[in-house]
Amino acid sequence: MSAERTVAIAGATGAVGQEMLKCLLERKFPVANLKLLASARSAGKTLPFGEQDLVVEELTPASFEGVDIALFSAGSGISREFAPHAVKAGAVVIDNSSAFRMDEGVPLVVPEINPEDAEAHQGIIANPNCTTIVTLMGLNPMHKAFGGVRNIIASSYQAVSGSGAQGIIELEQQVAALVKGEPVEPRVYPRQIAFNVLPHVDVFLDNGYTKEEMKMLNEGRKILHQPGLKASVTCVRVPVYRSHAVSVVAQFEEEPDLDRARQAIEEAPGVQLKDDPEAAVYPTPLDTTNGDDCLVGRLRKDLVLDKALSFWVVGDQVRKGAALNAVQIAELL
């Protein structure tokens, strides 16, 4: 690893910010100095980092003096406001929000897929959407093996932690109430999430898809350098605490071979093949929670589309879908 760096985390008290702290520590990132930044109401709190207790500071435009790498996980509005200050101070921003993902001059990077794109940064590198990352981690080995992916049809099964801590609290409270026979009142979600699934993640657009569903198309094109990629996606919230799962049908330029697909997945970094359905060996959210790798199973020839495979991929969306991916980008730097 290269020389030690001064690192700042904007949004350090959130779930992803705290996961970034874990990843920096576990991966022995060369941190010379670590600044934890958050809103004024969180200033003064302490968070553990190894044997240290670090004090959270209020995020201001002046927070980034002397910072080499700024990890942002505080929402797109905060990123839009403060990332330019970080860049002006000389830091490289790795942003976990949607603020800059589709900006032409901002690389959108998954280190196992397109690490070379990070070299073209102009001060900001974007972290893709968590569902996009998990999907493409499973897809990319086959994308490379079979001449490129042409079309994707996917349905996601997204954990409530994707909505932050309040999503988890709402699920817990609703389950507890229903067990007692008490009524529930949805607050975070538009409908009851306990013992239910909701085909509604993010806001709906004029075309009938949600913003979350369109992210896989638009971000997938950019990450894979496939401007002609087509994707039809349905994103679903499920009553699971952590880790997203995605059912994918992918159509390729070349005729796919199952043995070659399995080999490509097994050889790819950050991905594991767990595919023996008769023995109940297939990925579930519990298998990936707090884990780095995405797991792929249920791999089979699609029965509708030519040159297509169906598969199931699961990954921890707080970790690989957010915090770990950002720290891996920092390692590229």
Q: Which helix (H) or strand (E) holds 41?
A: none
Give the residue carrying structure tokens 């957010």.
Answer: 322
- The residue annotated as part of the active site, out of 85, 121, 143, 244, is 244
Find out whether 75 and 11 touch, Cβ atoms under 8 Å. yes
SS3 296: strand
Residue ranges in the chain assigned as alpha helix (H):
15-26, 76-88, 130-145, 165-179, 211-224, 258-267, 285-288, 324-332
- The residue annotated as part of the active site, out of 85, 121, 130, 143, is 130
Q: What angle do CA 124, 125, 131 make, to 5 degrees?
A: 140
Find out whether 13 and 47 touch, Cβ atoms under 8 Å. yes
Question: Can 85 be counted among the known catalytic residues?
Answer: no
Question: Can 244 be counted among the known catalytic residues?
Answer: yes
CA dist., res. 50 & res. 218, Å (int): 38
128 CB contacts (<8 Å, ≥6 apart)?
101, 108, 109, 110, 136, 215, 219, 223, 325
Give the residue carrying structure tokens 């538009």.
Answer: 190
Give catalytic residue positions.
130, 244
